[in-house]
Structure 1
Amino acid sequence: MSHSTSARVRAANQAPSPQPQKDSFPVLMLGAIGVVFGDIGTSPLYAMKESFIGPHPLAVDRVHIFGVLSLVFWSLMLIVTVKYVFVAMRADNRGEGGSFALLALISSHLDDRRKALLMVLGVAAAALFYGDAMLTPAISVLSAVEGLTIVEARLEPLVLPIAVLILLGLFFIQSRGTAKVGALFGPIVLVYFGTLATLGVVNIAARPEILAIFNPVWALEFFQKDPRLAFLAMGSVFLAVTGAETLYADMGHFGRKAIGASWLVLVFPCLMLNYMGQGALLLANPAAVENPFYLMAPDWARLPLIILATLATIIASQAVISGAFSVTHQAIQLGFLPRFKILHTSEKSAGQIYMPAINWGLLVMVLVLVLGFQESTRLASAYGISVVGTMLITTAMLAFLLFKVWRWKPWAAAATIGLFALVDVSFFLSNIAKIADGGWVPLLVAGVIFTVLTTWAKGRSVLRHHLLADAIPLEVFVKSTAASVHRVKGTSVFLSAAREGVPAALLHNLKHNQVLHENVVLLTVAVEETPRVEAEKRLEMRSVGHGFTRVILHYGFTEEIDIPRDLAPISQHGIGLEPMRTSYFLGRQKLIAAKEVAGMALWREHLFAWLLKVSESAMDYYRLPANRVVELGSQLRI
């Protein structure tokens, strides 16, 4: 290979990174039903109840029942069906969805100023997601278990302990992976949705006039009769659409068509039948407002319904927890978080990961919420504001997409975004009233996480700047040093964050050991703004001469990094990688915050230094053999 040329090396003998398996369409639909719709599917447990007996109670009469149900229907239609199924899910980044995928898809089409703004929005959406991730298990499981008080009022003291035990069990089994229990998710949730529809139909049959709620005039009449209460009620109505973001975020797992078909053919009709059934029940018996979901069922069916609903909430919580692992992994890959310990729980599926730090952190927050609020009604006051914040950000990012990337006709793009913005802003303003009642909790968590994400990204930028400023050009180093230093057999691989210059670890090794291996590989791991990178584009190498080779491994932000596996093809070019004759050298900087730097306060420098200190070793994250790794530490003042 020429010294002056750069080449992409096709991994002929390399196993490509695992790709999503292509199951049959019915299997994908069943999987989507089990994983994607668990959150929004459990909303009937509390959304209708909270609309009437929440922080802003409503009279249980015809106008209010029809008005609330009309708002629920049109909210699901506009937000889930139109915004997410018909528009957002078309914005796939090579099949992947979610905030980070959308961010990466749009950013390459914008100038630096707009790209920076978009980056802030994407990071804010990710931070808000964690607020949702801790509230979903808390409110879902608690609301399901509260059904026991409908069966027997004396069981009320057991509700909290049972909910805590279920949540403890849920988080403790995460380390075992979800591959085995995941196969049960689809059928259980399918039975659950079938039960929702059946209960709804039975109650609708008794009061068929409830079908009139499809007419938006009822929503308008509700606002006309009592504008203030109607506006505040939207904060509770919004609980019916929480979980809509999951459709887009999980698109990479099941595909746009399977998720869209599942929603339109099964989930949406079942949800609306159940909501209308609850409305029909309230028309016949206003006192049932204490828990219309369970009171729709006859006495003999309530205990089985509680068990089924609890299973559905566990599945919904499992999906959110797994989503937190995935979002964290993407944030690490894209440089917004330090490395966390990642355990792979499945040999067949690359997406099956377990992150202990995230798992136990979420558990602590969920238990704090359950024990602090104690009732689903009180939790509902905190729920929704982080979700609507994420939806607002998605709308803003979609505006960039429609105008700058897809280049829709201005009037069409403006009308579409205007409609989405009107709905999202309305819900956002109505949810602001929840801040004082507990909505500050997820916002506080999101604020802390946003600070961590942006501090790490900024700190890495500052650190790279300082390292590059002191770096020696590789060609100069090779010409002046390589010929005069003693060379030993074998290969050394020096990991470097920068694609240019000599890594600090190489200079430290030469300073202390005064030898170089006959083959020296300077390796940079580059994470691209795409979910996956094709196998033939994975490895890029350039010979510098005198046994020095610059190698870049390219990865997508959803892929797992395995350096020994993906570096193997360089052996075809005479660079030996025998396990016992290859050493991996890692640099580990200890940061000393000495003064404020541009755009970074001193307290953020201290935070970044701490994050750097607790970051997981690159050895485990990059799957390097433990007995062949040498870590060389250094101190850096900024």
Structure 2
Amino acid sequence: MASEASGVSNTENASVAACDIPQQAGSANGHGPKGHGTFVLALGSVGVVFGDIGTSPLYAFKEALHTAAADGVTRAEILGVVSLALWALILVVTIKYVLFIMRADNKGEGGVLSLMALAQRAMGRRTALVFGLGVIGAALFYGDAVITPAMSVLSAVEGLRTIPALEHSITTEMVLLIATVMLLGLFFIQSRGTAKVGQLFGPVCALWFTVMAVLGVYNLLAHPGVFRSINPYYAVHFLQHHGMAGFIVLGAVFLTVTGAEALTADMGHFGRWPIQAAWLFFVLPCLALNYLGQGALALNTLVEAERTGAPFQELNWFFEMAPDVLRLPLVILAGAATVIASQAVITGAFSLTQQAIQLGLLPRMDVRRTSETQSGQIFVPQLNTMLLLGVLAVMFTFKTSSAMAHAYGLAVTGTMVVTTAMAFIVMRQLWKWQLPAALAFLIPFMTLDLVFLSANALRFFTGGWLPVLIGAALFTIMATWVRGSQILSEKTRRDSVPLADLMEILRARAPHRAPGTAIFLTSDPDMTPVALMHNLKHNKVLHERNVVLTVRTAETPRVPEEDRIKTFKVNDDFKKVEIYYGFMESPNVPKALALLRKQQGLKFDIMATSFFLGRRSIVPSANSGMPLWQDRLYIFLMKNAANPTDFFKIPPGRVVELGAQVTV
């Protein structure tokens, strides 16, 4: 909703009656949002959706086997780790996400905040449980967005050490330097948009997955016995015979499925069927073959060690699968794949931030469109800078991908627990599943999520604290912004005059009339806007035509043009106008008013119209309902929020701001 302050809440509760919007193309048929065929969209999804999970083979098997090899390695342990990796992909990604969670789309859109909006709509109101789950999931995603680029790029650059000619000359400092240059380049190009570069993402990642499959098959030919690990018996046997050590290995195995959330988060760009087809018929087979190939190489290394009596040597299994002569091209391709994976996470963070702003969870930020045709191509300068600093800080703190692996899983497992819980609410409340059927989904998958969460929690003190810290910081910011905005809205409502009462006052004592149209932005159309009261009090004038304008956010991704605007006549002098935007859209008030003029024949010139905003100066209060430190945090967030004039795309020369001091 519009605010009357410099950075005050986008909405009091960010809750409105959602418009009944048609299903987005692409969520239920073979054609995506732009009408492209399934194959083209599936190829595009390989680059964007599967970039994160597609780079997991660089480090997941290596870390899991390293954890299992604390007291030596046996054939059963290698087969057990491979089996755990394969069944994690089958149970978590294929069955849970592809077959179940992807059905819970919000008009074609997915992701944790989209699912939260869908669950709220299913409940018929905002509940503390659903709202809390959504905020936790969003906060944890930012933790993942900081760690993923550092982890992926660092693991690719470390592959240089597997090249015989370079293995002794590549130091940790050199790895960090190369990774830093790559990441700086990645973050600096964000402002230019990724539309042109993005056209290469699909083909490059398709090549990456193909190379992974070929490397897997190449090594499988030398030791085909690893195929036995497809039998889940080896996974169960490993966990049964390793106790707590097996549980710790499970935390490392979870690295194979990081990135699964992207399947739902990017549904709106590609559609459900292209993503599902790409996973089932291409990505999953390539990943499975690669993990089998790494297992085959480990078995072969073990056999050779037993034959010669030498100790089992732990290697960087992914890169060691390739012949020496192909290592450098493989490292270059891995670098390109990890940059693409990082780009997908950064884009996801931008998209999530836009949703959070629209839903009232974060203060307004400068959201720039980098493409005139692609609605998903956005750039958030403040967030880009914060992510860059966070990624570099994480990388230089942990220095190696192995050390960083301990920090990686906790945020993702937390988000998965949130997703499972909200999907259960949607199944019960929206789809009207019977309780036994809904519990048949909830119990096994929530158990699986909690097992992985517990396994990753064991790594809390060796790095898992990092995403929890980032998530806690973001949760505090979101909770403070929502609560502070709520308190401010309630206080403003108490101190304001109902609009109906003002009409009676104006009828009794008519003020001087000024020519033209005045538009007053407010978050509560039933109360007199602060700017209108100040205009009457200090300037003692009323325009010929007056519009009380409220911008609302629907609980759907996008709002059709025919449902964009609602008008209500108050009297001959006043109209109330409500403009609706989906949580995936950026508000543009002049464009909406032009639509209003076209649809309803309203006669006014945008360049002869004055927009009145109430700019409030907030001071902390000991009796606000929040602790003093939270008051100060809220005021800091508000002062640094984007100017509403810029956010709503209002011509700056047409804006009049009238201020007041308010305690919160």
CA distance in 2, matches of 1:128, 1:453: 12
Aligned: 1:584 with 2:611: yes
CA distance in 1, matches of 2:69, 2:403: 12
CA distance in 1, matches of 2:393, 2:473: 17
SS, match of residue 525 in structure 1: strand
Pick from 387, 394, 399 the counterpart of residue 412 of structure 2: 387
Write out per-residue CA displacement over residues 175-208 of structure 1, whole angstroms, 9 at most, x where no aligned residue: 0011111100000000000000000001001111
Pick from 115, 121, 127 the counterpart of residue 139 of structure 2: 127
Partner AA of 1:99 in structure 2: V
Query: Quick check: 1:204–1:280 contact (8 Å CA) kept in 2?
Result: yes
Partner AA of 2:620 in structure 1: A
CA distance in 2, matches of 1:205, 1:302: 19
- Tell me: CA distance 1:470–1:141, structure 2 relative to 1, closer, same or farther (3 Å): same
SS, match of residue 381 in structure 1: helix
Pick from 220, 233, 249 the counterpart of residue 236 of structure 2: 220
Q: How does 1:119-518 map to 2 (within 5 A)?
A: 119-151=131-163, 152-153=166-167, 154-156=169-171, 157-286=173-302, 287=312, 289-481=314-506, 484-518=510-544
Query: Quick check: 2:590–2:606 contact (8 Å CA) kept in 1?
Result: no
Write out per-residue CA displacement over residues 225-259 of structure 1, whole angstroms, 9 at most, x where no aligned residue: 22221111001000000000110111111111011
Query: Quick check: 1:56–1:229 contact (8 Å CA) kept in 2?
Result: no
Write out per-residue CA displacement over residues 363-391 of structure 1, whole angstroms, 9 at most, x where no aligned residue: 00100011111000000011110000000
Partner AA of 1:63 in structure 2: A
CA distance in 2, matches of 1:37, 1:177: 20
SS, match of residue 616 in structure 1: coil
Write out per-residue CA displacement over residues 591-616 of structure 1, whole angstroms, 9 at most, x where no aligned residue: 11112334x22221221111111111
CA distance in 2, matches of 1:108, 1:203: 51
Count of residues paired in the alignment: 619
Query: Quick check: 1:251–1:259 contact (8 Å CA) kept in 2?
Result: yes
Aligned: 1:52 with 2:78: no
> Once the two structures are aligned, what percentage of the paired residues are identical?
48
CA distance in 1, matches of 2:67, 2:145: 22
Query: Quick check: 1:55–1:381 contact (8 Å CA) kept in 2?
Result: no
Query: Quick check: 1:60–1:282 contact (8 Å CA) kept in 2?
Result: no
- Tell me: CA distance 1:146–1:45, structure 2 relative to 1, closer, same or farther (3 Å): same
- Tell me: CA distance 1:198–1:55, structure 2 relative to 1, closer, same or farther (3 Å): closer
User: 1:589 Cα shift?
Assistant: 1.4
Query: Quick check: 1:32–1:254 contact (8 Å CA) kept in 2?
Result: yes
Give the alignment's TM-score, normalised by structure 1: 0.94
- Tell me: CA distance 1:281–1:167, structure 2 relative to 1, closer, same or farther (3 Å): same
CA distance in 1, matches of 2:585, 2:323: 49
User: 1:631 Cα shift?
Assistant: 1.8
Write out per-residue CA displacement over residues 518-558 of structure 1, whole angstroms, 9 at most, x where no aligned residue: 11111000101111112111100111123211100011111
CA distance in 1, matches of 2:195, 2:265: 19
Write out per-residue CA displacement over residues 497-536 of structure 1, whole angstroms, 9 at most, x where no aligned residue: 1121110011112222222221111100010111111211
User: 1:571 Cα shift?
Assistant: 3.0
Pick from 97, 102, 108 the counterpart of residue 95 of structure 1: 108
Query: Quick check: 1:281–1:288 contact (8 Å CA) kept in 2?
Result: no
- 476-485 or 82-91, which moves further after superposition? 476-485
Partner of 2:658: 632
- Tell me: CA distance 1:239–1:581, structure 2 relative to 1, closer, same or farther (3 Å): same
Pick from 587, 592, 611 the counterpart of residue 566 of structure 1: 592
CA distance in 1, matches of 2:615, 2:139: 28
- 566-575 or 613-622, which moves further after superposition? 566-575
Write out per-residue CA displacement over residues 72-123 of structure 1, whole angstroms, 9 at most, x where no aligned residue: 11111110001100000000110011111111111133376x8211110110
Partner AA of 1:590 in structure 2: S
- Tell me: CA distance 1:569–1:49, structure 2 relative to 1, closer, same or farther (3 Å): closer
CA distance in 1, matches of 2:284, 2:64: 20
CA distance in 1, matches of 2:58, 2:231: 24
User: 1:577 Cα shift?
Assistant: 3.0
SS, match of residue 206 in structure 1: coil
Partner AA of 2:239 in structure 1: F
Query: Quick check: 1:504–1:587 contact (8 Å CA) kept in 2?
Result: yes
Write out per-residue CA displacement over residues 287-335 of structure 1, whole angstroms, 9 at most, x where no aligned residue: 5632000000000100000000000000000000010000000000000
Aligned: 1:522 with 2:548: yes
User: 1:54 Cα shift?
Assistant: 4.4
Partner AA of 1:191 in structure 2: L
Partner of 2:643: 617
Partner of 1:4: none
SS, match of residue 32 in structure 1: helix
CA distance in 2, matches of 1:170, 1:561: 28
Partner AA of 2:334 in structure 1: A
CA distance in 2, matches of 1:59, 1:393: 37
Aligned: 1:548 with 2:574: yes
Give the alignment's TM-score, normalised by structure 2: 0.91
- 466-475 or 249-258, which moves further after superposition? 466-475
- Tell me: CA distance 1:165–1:535, structure 2 relative to 1, closer, same or farther (3 Å): same
- 240-249 or 561-570, which moves further after superposition? 561-570
User: 1:466 Cα shift?
Assistant: 0.8
Query: Quick check: 1:54–1:236 contact (8 Å CA) kept in 2?
Result: yes
Partner of 1:13: none
SS, match of residue 464 in structure 2: helix
CA distance in 1, matches of 2:396, 2:82: 31
Query: Quick check: 1:51–1:237 contact (8 Å CA) kept in 2?
Result: yes
Partner AA of 1:336 in structure 2: L
Query: Quick check: 2:68–2:245 contact (8 Å CA) kept in 1?
Result: no
User: 1:575 Cα shift?
Assistant: 4.0
- Tell me: CA distance 1:636–1:172, structure 2 relative to 1, closer, same or farther (3 Å): same
In structure 2, stretches of 5+ residues that fail to align are: 1-18, 20-31, 303-311
CA RMSD of the aligned region, Å?
1.7
- 169-178 or 507-516, which moves further after superposition? 507-516
SS, match of residue 661 in structure 2: strand
CA distance in 2, matches of 1:61, 1:547: 84
